[in-house]
C-alpha cells in the first residue's frame, strides 16, 4: 500500500444560512493515493463540491469546517494559516472548476493569468514566466499558443478556456488536482478531448486527481475507484465494475439505473420497484396514423442568417407525423437551437417555409405569431428550468398564464381545475402550486415548465435540452413523463439535445446537425448503432458509456 | 494602430449620431424660454419709468416682435454660424462669456470628481472586504451624511471651520485672491496655467482657493461612487475568477487589486461619467457660496433676468458636454474592458 497523499477523516462542513446552520458534509472519510484518479460522484446537493472546496480551502465565507481532519502529506489543511496556506494552494494542490469561462478573469489576457500563478510560487523574471506560460499552453494542446497567449477568455471557446484553466492549475506542478465538474456544459466531443488531456497530464506528471462529477459514466471511464456521495455522506466506494454490476447501497442502485447507457430504454431508468406503473403505459399500442395522413409538421429548406454572417442554419428540411418523437442532435453552434426556435416561431427564418397541419406559418412574423390560433398548438420547454420561469409567478400562475392568454380562460374554478389537471399529468403535487420558483427543486421546476407547455394541449412540443440542467435521477423521471405524454396524448416531440443516449431512448428518428446543415438522419437506433458519417461516429464514441462485463475487464 | 483608428471612426460615428439629440435640446430650450413668464424687453429697459415706446423699441431690437417660428429660424441660423447671441446682462457675446467661465467650472468639477474618486473607491473597497463590519457601517454613515447635507450647507460649514475658525483657507472670493495676478491664459485652468509659467506661489494660491469648493462638491457625490464600488466589488469578490485566483495562492494584494478591483471598477467608470455631467451643471450652489465665476452661476443670473441667449447657450453647452463625457466614458470602458467595443 503506497503512502496516502490525502486523507479526509470524518469531515463535517456547515453553512450558516438565514435558516440557521445547514450541514452540507456530514462525516466524509476518503483517501487519495499519489498519482491516483478518484471519482467523487453524486447528484446536486450531495456535498461533493463542498468536500473539494474544503480540501482546497476555498469555501465561501458562510461555510465552515465544523469537524474532522483533512490531512495532506500528513499536514492538517484545515489548520493552515496565511503564508503556509498560500504555499499549499497552487503549488501543492490546485483546482479546476465547472464553468471555465467564468473561472478566468475576463479582462486579463490568459498568458498573464498563467504567469500570475507561476510568479506566485517561483522567483523568476516576468519574461521567464511568460515563456513558461507558453510552454503550458502547448502542454494543454492549444493551437497557435504564441497568439493565444494574448487572448482574452471571451475570445476562446468553452473547451479552450478549460484547457487554459488546466494550464493554470498545473503551472506549479501540484501533487493533487481537484477537478470540480470539469466538463459539465461542454459538448460531448470536447468533453472527451478535455478529459483525455487531463488524464494524460495527470499520468505524465504523476499527479493525483479527484474528479468530482455527477456523471457516473464519465467517472467510470477515467477512474479506477469511485466514491458515491449522497446527502453529505459517502454511501459506497468501489471500482466502476463492481459499482455497476453489483451496487450495494439503495442510492447507488438508483443512480446506476438512472444513468442512461447505450442500450437502456426509458423503462429501465428506474429501479425495479418503481417500474410497475410505467409498464402499463408502455405496453399500450401506439396510435398509428392512417395511411395518407398529411404530416403534422413539414419544414422546407429552412435557413437563418444573423447579420450578414455565415448561415447559422441552411437548407434544413424535415417532416414530422403527429405523436412522433424526433431528436435534433449536434454540438454547440450546430444550429439546433436556432432551428428549434424557428419552428416554434420565436425567431424568423431567413428563407424556407414551415407548414404546420397544412397551414404555412413560416411567413407569419415571429412577433405576431402569439396572435395566431396555432400558437397553442406549438409549445416549447426551455433548457434552464430556473431561468425560464418568472420568479414573481407562482407555479399556479405559470401554468395558468398560457391558459388565460391563449385559451381565453378567466380566473375561476374552471381555470383552477385545468391547472390542477395539468399539474397532475406531470406529477407535480398540488400543494406545490402556490409556491414560487425559488421554493421548488430543479425537478419540480422542470415539471412546472412542462405543465405550462402542455396546458393548452399542444400538438407539437419542442424541447430544448429540457434535462441538461437536471440530475440523472430527475432526468429519468422527466423522460418517462415526456414519453408518457407522447403516448397518451399523441403529442409530437421535437427533442433538441446534445445527449445522444437520451435522444436514442426518447425519439423514433434522429437528425444530426453540424454547422447548420443536416449530416445524417434516420431511425434512432440504427443511426447510433451504425453511424454512416464520421461526424456521427465521433459523437457516438464520445459518449462515456458505462461498460460492464468483458469490455471493462479487458481494460483493467 | 488599426485598433485605434477603428476606435476613432466609431467615436466619430457616435458623435454624429448624437446630433439629432442636440438639435432637440436646442429647440426645446428655445421654446421653454419663450413659455417662461417675464418679458426681457421690460427687464432691460432703462428703468421702471421707461415708456411703452422704449420697451417696444427694445423688443424690436431683440427681434421679439416676430412670431415664435420666425424667431426659431433666426436663432437656428445664428447657431449654425456659431453665434450664440449676445448677453443683455454682460453686454458681451454669450460665446465669449462661456469661454471665459467654462474653464473655471471644469477645473472645479474635475478636482471635485478626482477628490470624490480618491475617497470613494478605497471606501467602497474597504466596505466590500468586510461586509457587515463596523468599517462597512462607518462608510455607510459617512455616505449618508454626505448625501443628506446639501452642498451649500457643507460649503458654508467648511468655510466656517477652515476660514473663520482655523484661518487655514483663504477668503472664499473666486479663483484667486486679489493680491495674485492672473497668469497668461493658456488652458484656462488656473492651476495648470500657473505651472506653465513656473509661478509656484500663484499655483499654490489657486489651489488653496480651489480646495474648499471642490471638497464640498465631492462630499455630495462620494456616496453614489462609494456605494457602486462596494456593490460591484462584492460581486467581483464572489465571482469564480477570484476563486480561481485564490485557488492558485495569489497574494491577497494581487487578488483584491488586480483581479477583483480592476473588474469592479468598470461600472464605477460609467457612474463617474454621469456624476461629472450632473456636477458640472448642478454646482451652481457651490459656485454661489464661493463666488466662483463658473458657467452655472452665470446661467442662473441670466435666467433670473430673463436673458434668453445665455441660458440657451448654457443648455446647449451642457448637452454637448454630456455627449462628450459619455463618449469619453465609452472609450475608457472600451480600453478597460476588452469585451466591449463602442459602437
**A95 DSSP β-pair partners:** A178
| Regions of chain A where pLDDT drops below 50 | 1, 549-556
Q: Do B339 and A154 make contact, defined as CB atoms within 8 angstroms?
A: yes
Half-sphere CA count of B77, side-chain side, radius 13 A: 5
**DSSP letter (8 states) at residue A269:** G
Annotate A161-228 with DSSP letters as a single string.
HHHHHHHHHHTT--SEEEEESTTTTS-HHHHHHHHHHHHHHHHHHT-EEEEEES-HHHHHHH-SEEEE
Higher pLDDT, B247 or B6: B247
Q: Which residues are CB-neighbours of A368 under 8 A, at least 6 positions away?
A: none
Instruction: State the pLDDT at residue A308.
Output: 67
Higher pLDDT, A284 or B204: B204
User: φ, ψ for residue A373 (rounded to 5)?
Assistant: -65, -15
Give residue-wise pLDDT tens across range A405-416.
888 888 889 999
Q: What is the least distance, in Å, from the CA of A294 to any CA of chain B? A: 49
Instruction: State the pLDDT at residue A550.
Output: 39
Instruction: State the pLDDT at residue A295.
Output: 84
**DSSP letter (8 states) at residue A530:** S
Residue with cell string 479487458: A554
Is there a contact between A507 and A493 (Cβ–Cβ < 8 Å)? yes
Alpha-carbon distances, residue B109 vs B106, B114, B245, B302 (angstroms) = 5, 8, 38, 21
Give B-chain residues touching A91 at CB under 8 angstroms: 249
Q: Pick B246's closest partner by Cβ from A89, A91, A172.
A: A89
Helices B262-282 and B200-237, axial angle in degrees (round to 10): 130
Q: How confident is the model at residue B118 (pLDDT cuts 50, 70, 90)?
A: very high
Instruction: State the pLDDT at residue A208.
Output: 93
Cell of B250: 495569489
What Rg value do the Cα atoms of chain A yield, rounded?
A: 25
Distance CA A467, CA A479 (A): 8
ipTM value greater than 0.90: no
- Helix/strand number for chain B, H first, E second: 16, 0
In what helix (H) or strand (E) does residue A14 lie, and over which residues does it extend? strand A4-17
Percentage of residues in chain B with pLDDT exceeding 70?
94
Q: Which residues are CB-neighbours of B158 under 8 A, at least 6 positions away?
A: B169, B212, B215, B216
Instruction: State the pLDDT at residue B122.
Output: 94
Evaluated on CA atoms B141, B142, B146, B147, the torsion sign reads negative
Instruction: State the pLDDT at residue B3.
Output: 61
**A379 DSSP β-pair partners:** A461
Half-sphere CA count of B282, side-chain side, radius 13 A: 15
Is there a contact between A135 and B322 (Cβ–Cβ < 8 Å)? no
The percent helix, strand, coil of chain A (3-state, each to 5) is: 40, 25, 35
Q: Do A102 and B240 make contact, defined as CB atoms within 8 angstroms?
A: yes
Half-sphere CA count of B97, side-chain side, radius 13 A: 28
Give A-chain residues touching B338 at CB under 8 angstroms: 106-107, 152, 154
Helices A442-454 and A395-406, axial angle in degrees (round to 10): 10
Cell of B290: 464661493
Distance CA B25, CA A31 (A): 71
Distance CA A281, CA A483 (A): 9
Q: Do A56 and B247 make contact, defined as CB atoms within 8 angstroms?
A: yes
Q: Which residues are CB-neighbours of A364 under 8 A, at least 6 positions away?
A: A345, A372
Give residue-wise pLDDT tens across range B252-261.
889 999 899 9
3 state SS of A280: helix
Query: Is the model's pLDDT at B50 over the cut of 70?
Result: no
3 state SS of A453: helix
Q: What is the least distance, in Å, from the CA of A117 to any CA of chain B? A: 6
In A266-331, which ranges are E strands? 297-305, 311-320, 325-329
Q: Pick A99's closest partner by Cβ from B240, B245, B259.
A: B240
Cell of A487: 403516448
Distance CA A232, CA B4 (A): 54
Instruction: State the pLDDT at residue A549.
Output: 42
Distance CA A227, CA A211 (A): 10
- Say how many C-beta atoms besides its own lie within 10 A of residue A200's C-beta: 12
Query: Which range has the worst mean pLDDT, A187-191, B137-141, B266-270?
Result: A187-191
Give B-chain residues touching A165 at CB under 8 angstroms: 244
In what helix (H) or strand (E) does residue B214 lie, and over which residues does it extend? helix B200-237
Is there a contact between A77 and B224 (Cβ–Cβ < 8 Å)? no
Instruction: State the pLDDT at residue B342.
Output: 47
Q: pTM of the full predicted structure? A: 0.80
Distance CA A65, CA A58 (A): 11
Query: Is the model's pLDDT at B84 over the cut of 70?
Result: yes
Q: Pick A89's closest partner by Cβ from B241, B248, B258.
A: B248
Instruction: State the pLDDT at residue A554.
Output: 37
Give A-chain residues touching B337 at CB under 8 angstroms: 106-107
By the CB < 8 Å criterion, does A171 face chain B? yes
By the CB < 8 Å criterion, does A90 face chain B? yes
Distance CA A343, CA A337 (A): 10
Give B-chain residues touching A154 at CB under 8 angstroms: 338-339
Q: Which residues are CB-neighbours of A26 under 8 A, at least 6 positions away?
A: A12, A47, A231, A232, A233
Q: Is A311 left (phi over 0), alpha (psi -120 to 50) or beta?
A: beta
Query: Is the model's pLDDT at B185 over the cut of 80?
Result: no
Residue with cell string 473547451: A159
Exposed, middle or buried, A69 (CB in 10 Å: 0-12/13-18/19+)?
Answer: middle
- Closest Cα partner for A386 from A433, A337, A476, A448? A448
Nearest residue in chain A measured CA to CA from B244:
A103
- Closest Cα partner for B71 from B27, B23, B22? B27
Give residue-wise pLDDT tens across range B302-320.
888 878 888 888 888 888 8
Edge-to-edge order in the sheet of strand A208-213? A93-96, A176-180, A208-213, A37-41, A225-230, A233-238
Helices A472-489 and A442-454, axial angle in degrees (round to 10): 20
Vertex B297: Cα angle to B330 and B35 (nearest 5): 90
Instruction: State the pLDDT at residue B343.
Output: 43
Q: What is the least distance, in Å, from the CA of A472 to any CA of chain B? A: 25
Distance CA A375, CA A295 (A): 18
Is there a contact between A77 and A6 (Cβ–Cβ < 8 Å)? no
Alpha-carbon distances, residue B102 vs A139, B67, B127, B215 (angstroms) = 59, 32, 36, 19
Residues of B with CB under 8 A from a CB of A: 238-241, 243-251, 254, 258-259, 262-263, 266, 336-339
Amino acid at each position: 500500500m503506497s503512502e496516502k497523499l490525502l486523507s479526509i477523516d470524518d469531515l463535517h462542513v456547515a453553512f450558516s444560512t438565514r435558516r440557521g446552520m445547514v450541514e452540507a458534509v456530514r462525516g466524509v472519510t476518503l483517501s487519495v493515493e499519489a498519482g491516483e484518479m478518484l471519482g467523487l460522484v453524486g447528484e446536486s446537493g450531495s456535498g461533493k463540491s463542498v468536500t473539494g472546496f474544503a480540501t482546497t480551502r476555498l469555501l465561501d465565507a458562510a461555510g465552515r469546517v465544523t469537524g474532522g481532519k483533512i490531512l495532506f502529506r500528513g499536514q492538517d489543511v484545515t489548520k493552515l494559516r496565511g503564508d503556509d496556506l498560500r504555499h499549499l494552494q497552487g503549488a501543492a494542490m490546485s483546482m479546476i472548476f465547472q464553468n471555465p469561462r467564468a473561472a478566468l478573469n475576463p479582462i486579463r489576457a490568459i498568458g498573464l493569468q498563467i504567469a500570475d500563478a507561476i510568479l506566485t510560487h517561483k522567483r523568476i523574471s516576468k519574461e521567464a514566466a511568460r515563456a513558461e506560460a507558453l510552454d503550458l499552453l502547448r502542454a494543454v494542446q492549444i493551437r497557435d499558443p504564441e497568439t493565444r497567449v494574448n487572448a482574452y477568455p471571451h475570445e476562446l471557446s468553452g473547451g479552450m478556456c478549460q484547457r487554459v484553466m488546466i494550464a493554470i492549475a498545473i503551472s506549479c506542478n501540484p501533487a493533487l488536482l481537484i477537478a470540480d465538474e470539469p466538463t459539465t456544459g461542454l459538448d460531448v466531443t470536447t468533453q472527451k478531448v478535455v478529459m483525455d488531456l487531463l488524464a494524460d497530464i495527470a499520468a505524465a506528471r504523476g499527479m493525483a486527481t479527484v474528479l468530482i462529477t455527477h456523471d457516473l459514466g464519465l467517472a467510470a471511464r477515467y477512474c479506477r475507484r469511485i466514491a458515491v456521495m449522497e446527502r453529505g455522506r459517502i454511501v459506497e466506494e468501489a471500482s466502476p465494475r463492481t459499482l455497476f454490476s453489483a451496487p450495494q447501497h439503495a442510492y447507488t442502485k438508483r443512480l446506476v439505473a438512472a444513468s442512461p447507457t447505450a442500450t437502456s430504454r426509458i423503462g429501465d431508468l428506474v429501479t425495479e420497484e418503481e417500474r410497475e406503473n410505467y409498464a402499463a403505459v408502455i405496453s399500450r399500442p401506439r396510435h398509428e396514423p392512417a395511411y395518407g395522413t398529411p404530416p403534422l409538421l413539414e419544414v422546407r429548406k429552412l435557413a437563418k442568417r444573423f447579420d450578414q454572417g455565415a448561415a447559422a442554419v441552411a437548407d434544413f428540411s424535415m417532416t414530422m407525423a403527429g405523436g412522433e418523437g424526433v431528436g435534433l442532435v449536434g454540438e454547440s453552434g450546430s444550429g439546433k437551437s436556432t432551428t428549434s426556435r424557428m419552428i416554434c416561431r420565436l425567431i424568423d427564418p431567413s428563407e424556407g417555409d414551415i407548414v404546420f397541419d397544412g397551414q404555412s406559418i413560416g411567413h407569419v412574423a415571429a412577433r405576431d405569431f402569439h396572435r395566431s390560433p396555432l400558437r397553442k398548438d406549438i409549445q416549447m420547454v426551455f433548457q434552464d428550468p430556473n431561468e425560464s420561469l418568472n420568479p414573481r409567478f407562482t407555479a399556479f400562475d405559470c401554468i395558468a398564464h398560457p391558459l388565460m392568454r391563449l385559451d381565453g380562460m378567466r380566473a375561476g374554478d374552471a381555470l383552477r381545475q385545468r391547472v390542477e389537471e395539468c399539474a397532475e399529468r406531470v406529477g407535480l403535487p398540488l400543494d406545490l402550486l402556490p409556491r414560487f420558483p425559488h421554493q421548488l427543486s430543479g425537478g419540480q421546476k422542470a415539471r412546472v415548465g412542462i405543465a405550462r407547455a402542455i396546458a393548452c394541449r399542444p400538438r407539437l412540443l419542442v424541447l430544448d435540452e429540457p434535462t441538461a440542467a437536471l440530475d440523472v435521477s430527475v432526468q429519468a423521471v422527466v423522460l418517462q413523463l415526456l414519453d408518457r405524454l407522447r403516448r397518451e396524448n399523441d403529442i409530437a416531440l421535437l427533442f433538441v439535445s446534445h445527449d445522444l443516449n437520451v435522444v436514442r431512448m426518447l425519439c423514433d428518428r434522429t437528425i444530426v446537425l453540424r454547422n447548420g446543415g443536416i449530416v445524417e438522419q434516420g431511425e434512432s437506433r440504427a443511426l447510433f448503432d451504425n453511424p454512416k458519417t464520421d461526424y456521427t461516429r465521433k459523437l457516438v464514441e464520445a459518449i462515456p458509456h458505462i461498460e460492464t462485463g468483458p469490455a471493462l475487464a479487458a481494460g483493467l | 494602430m488599426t485598433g485605434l483608428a477603428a476606435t476613432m471612426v466609431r467615436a466619430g460615428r457616435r458623435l454624429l449620431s448624437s446630433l439629432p439629440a442636440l438639435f432637440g435640446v436646442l429647440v426645446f430650450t428655445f421654446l421653454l424660454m419663450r413659455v417662461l413668464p417675464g418679458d426681457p424687453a421690460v427687464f432691460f429697459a432703462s428703468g421702471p419709468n421707461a415708456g411703452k415706446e422704449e420697451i417696444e423699441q427694445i423688443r424690436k431690437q431683440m427681434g421679439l416682435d416676430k412670431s415664435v417660428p420666425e424667431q426659431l429660424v433666426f436663432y437656428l441660423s445664428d447657431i449654425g454660424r456659431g453665434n450664440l447671441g449676445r448677453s443683455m446682462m454682460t453686454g458681451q457675446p454669450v460665446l465669449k462669456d462661456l469661454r471665459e467661465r467654462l474653464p473655471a467650472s471644469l477645473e472645479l468639477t474635475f478636482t471635485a470628481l478626482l477628490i470624490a474618486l480618491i475617497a470613494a473607491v478605497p471606501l467602497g473597497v474597504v466596505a466590500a472586504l468586510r461586509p457587515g463590519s463596523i468599517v462597512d457601517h462607518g462608510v455607510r454613515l459617512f455616505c449618508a451624511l454626505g448625501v443628506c447635507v446639501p452642498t451649500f450647507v457643507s460649503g458654508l460649514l467648511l468655510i466656517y471651520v477652515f476660514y473663520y475658525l482655523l484661518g487655514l483657507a483663504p477668503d472664499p472670493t473666486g479663483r484667486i485672491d486679489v493680491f495674485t495676478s492672473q497668469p497668461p491664459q493658456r488652458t484656462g485652468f488656473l492651476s495648470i496655467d500657473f505651472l506653465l509659467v513656473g509661478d509656484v506661489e500663484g499655483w499654490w494660491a489657486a489651489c488653496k482657493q480651489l480646495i474648499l469648493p471642490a471638497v464640498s462638491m465631492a462630499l455630495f457625490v462620494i456616496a453614489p461612487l462609494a456605494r457602486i464600488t462596494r456593490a460591484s466589488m462584492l460581486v467581483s469578490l464572489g465571482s469564480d475568477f477570484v476563486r480561481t485566483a485564490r485557488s492558485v495562492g495569489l497574494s491577497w494584494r494581487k487578488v483584491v487589486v488586480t483581479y477583483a478591483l480592476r473588474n469592479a471598477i468598470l461600472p464605477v467608470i460609467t457612474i463617474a461619467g454621469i456624476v461629472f455631467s450632473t456636477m458640472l451643471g448642478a454646482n451652481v450652489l457651490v459656485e454661489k457660496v464661493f463666488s466662483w465665476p463658473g458657467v452655472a452661476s452665470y446661467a442662473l443670473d441670466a435666467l433670473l433676468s430673463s436673458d434668453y441667449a445665455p441660458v440657451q447657450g448654457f443648455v446647449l453647452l451642457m448637452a454637448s458636454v454630456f455627449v462628450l463625457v459619455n463618449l469619453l466614458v465609452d472609450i475608457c470602458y472600451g480600453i478597460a474592458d476588452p469585451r466591449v467595443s463602442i459602437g
